[in-house]
Structure 1
Amino acid sequence: MKLIVKWLLSAAALLAVAYLYQGVVVSSFTAALIAAFVIGLFNMVLRPVLVLLTLPVTVITLGLFLFVINALMFWAAASVLDGFYVRGFGAALLGSLIYSVFGIVIDSAIERLFFKK
């Protein structure tokens, strides 16, 4: 149940990103659901490999390179999907930052909702 709620809220967050920032376009809620799934899949599979491969750069930049990796995951998801479009790397960077902020809020809300004491 927790996973489904997080997926639905992530799709809503993606629609909110598209609403707030014109560099990201999402055509429908269905496209947002698919895009949220693919972004989550890329973050689960590809992101750890990229973080490991770019560890020296990440250390030198004091972790700021992780923003670039997040943007690449966001941009890669947009490049393989119809109905989800990002207008370039700069748009992917800003869109992924906004999406990450929404993700933090979603994680906090889910934590409070499902793990009340």
Structure 2
Amino acid sequence: MGFLLRLLVNALALYLLTRVYGGVSFAPGADVVSVVLAALVMGIVNALIRPVLLLLSMPVNVLTLGLFTLVVNGVVLWLVAAVTALNVAGFGAAIVGALLLTVISWVLDAVLGVAGLDGDRT
């Protein structure tokens, strides 16, 4: 149940991102399945590719005091857009979109935690 809830929260966060920020959108005619599929791909990329990117960029990340993580998150969003119905206007839009997606996901997680729907993750 936790995986399904996390997938739906990520799908909602992606959808809200496309409503809030014009640099990231879904292809015309995209339906709920496309949004959920993009969230699933985002989860897979975050679990498999993002740690490798963070490890490879560790020296630059240390020099920039962690700010290079924003670039890595932008690359992840751009990769997801390359294989799903998600459209990103450019690399700068991917970085801003990843930053906004982080904030939206954080707010949704906080709302679920207050509502008691997070499965008591501590």
TM-score w.r.t. structure 2 length?
0.87
1:61 aligns with 2:64: yes
CA deviations on 1:39-82 (whole Å, 9 max, x unpaired) are: 1111110111111111000000000000000000000110112x
Identity %: 38
- The correspondence of residues 13-92 of structure 1 with structure 2, limited to 5 A, is 13-26=13-26, 27-81=30-84, 83-92=85-94
2:108 aligned with 1:106, yes or no?
yes
Aligned amino acid, residue 120 of structure 2: F
Question: Partners in 1 of 2:120 and 2:7 — Cα distance?
Answer: 18
Q: Distance in 1 between the 2:92 and 2:4 partners?
A: 30
4+ runs of 1 displaced by more than 6 Å? none
Range that drifts further, 103-112 or 66-75: 103-112
Which deviates more, 49-58 or 27-36? 27-36
Q: Distance in 2 between matches of 1:11 and 1:88?
A: 21
Q: Secondary structure at the match of 2:25?
A: strand
- Alpha-carbon separation, structure 2, partners of 1:104 and 1:61: 23
RMSD: 1.5
* Mean CA deviation greater in 56-65 or 4-13: 4-13
